[in-house]
Amino acid sequence: MQAAPKVHLAGAAMAQRSYRVIRQGDFMEGVTVVTHPLVQHKLTLIREKARSTKSFRELLNETGMLLCYEVTRDLPLEDIEIDTPITRMIAKQISGKKLVFAPILRAGVGFLQGMLDLVPSARVAHIGLYRDPETLVAVEYFFKAPSDLAERLVIVVDPMLATANSAVAAIDRLKERGAKEIRFVCLLAAPEGIERLRGAHPDVPIWTAAIDSHLDEHGYIVPGLGDAGDRTYGTR
Ligand code: PRP
Ligand code: URA
């Protein structure tokens, strides 16, 4: 029998365990893991700590666009009549509720742009929240949303679902303001965050590119990608 290939870890990484993303591709009630190879490849690039701010931001934008494609996959269509240069035909167009993207500041904004490129007519609800570093409680500092949230499909956008304190606070607020149909899309989720968000808002389905191993003692996702806001904007 052949020996399993050894993973070579250099320098400081030798002392660390090497984590694999778990449950990738599994199905959980209300959770869709987007396993498309382009998404998975770009996610790997985003995770790398040596990646520049410019490249991180570009990749966040690109994965936002790809995830938007998945989160809107089941939007209803209706038939309309159009003229092609050749003939008249029955063609499809999106029907039903109009979209609102609701990015959670700051990192959600970096994730939003690719989505707006795909759905340029969507409205945007900005939700300013930061995690208190000690308590991990989400603190709101800004909220501005269209007034007709009840008539729209609201897609909450944040690359990270860690404790889910931010996602739950954002969705509480959107519901207070009338939102009835909400989806949540992120790049990385911790199992703890999924459980909390599904418990608090079971009517809100989740799309994510991966479900990682766990949260560390500071509430960071492991293996994760670090602090998404800092990496997007080059702060630290
Ligand atoms: C990050 C991230 C999420 C939040 C997730 O934002 O963008 O909003 O943490 O963590 P949670 O699930 O435990 O609430 P952060 O609070 O660091 O703010 P920033 O984007 O302004 O840096
Ligand atoms: N917020 C981040 O930006 N990264 C994490 O790992 C957890 C919360």
Q: What is the number of domains present in the chain?
A: 1
Determine the Cα–Cα distance for residues 8 and 155; give it in Å rounded to an integer: 41
The CB density around residue 212, as the number of other CB atoms within 10 Å, is 25
- The torsion angle over the Cα atoms of residues 116, 118, 119 and 121, rounded to 10 degrees, is 70
pLDDT in tens, 197-228: 999 999 999 999 999 999 999 999 999 999 99
Average pLDDT over residues 42-50: 98
Least confident of 1-5, 131-135, 167-171: 1-5
- Cα(107) to ligand 2 centroid in Å equals 10
Tell whether ligand 2 has an atom less than 6 A from the beta carbon of residue 100.
no
Domain residue limits at 66:
33-73+90-231
Query: Is the confidence at residue 12, as pLDDT, over 70?
Result: no
In a domain, 201, yes or no: yes
129 in any annotated domain:
yes
Choose one of 19, 196, 221 to mutate for the ligand 2 pocket test, by most ligand atoms within 8 angstroms of C-beta.
221
Structure tokens at 169: 């606070």
Q: Are strands 138-144 and 126-131 parallel, antiparallel or unpaired?
A: antiparallel
Residue 223: cis peptide before it, omega within 30 degrees of 0: yes
User: In 72-122, which residue ranges form alpha helices assigned H by DSSP?
Assistant: 107-118
Residue 85 lies in a domain: no
169 lines ligand 2 (CB under 6 A): no
Cβ(224) to ligand 2 under 6 A?
yes
**Residue to probe by mutation, ligand 1, list 53, 60, 109, 129, most atoms within 8 Å of CB:** 129
Q: Is the CB of 110 under 6 A from ligand 2?
A: no
Residue 209 lies in a domain: yes
CATH of the domain at 97: 3.40.50.2020
Q: Average pLDDT, whole number, for the chain?
A: 90
Q: Is the CB of 151 under 6 A from ligand 2?
A: no
Region 120-140 average pLDDT: 95
210: three-class secondary structure by DSSP: strand
- Residues with a catalytic annotation lie at 131, 135, 227, 230
Distance 33 CA to ligand 2 centre (A): 19
CB 162 within 8 A of CB 133: no
**Amino acid at the residue 97:** K
The verdict on residue 65 lying in a domain is: yes
Does residue 43 fall inside a structural domain?
yes
The number of the ligand 2 atom at minimal distance from the alpha carbon of 219 is 7
pLDDT at 23 over 90: no
What is the position in ligand 2's atom list of the atom closest to the CA of 225? 6
C-beta of 220 in contact with ligand 2 (< 6 A): yes
Residue 174 maps to a domain? yes
Q: What share of the chain has pLDDT > 70, as a percent?
A: 89
pTM of structure: 0.90
> Is 142 a domain residue?
yes
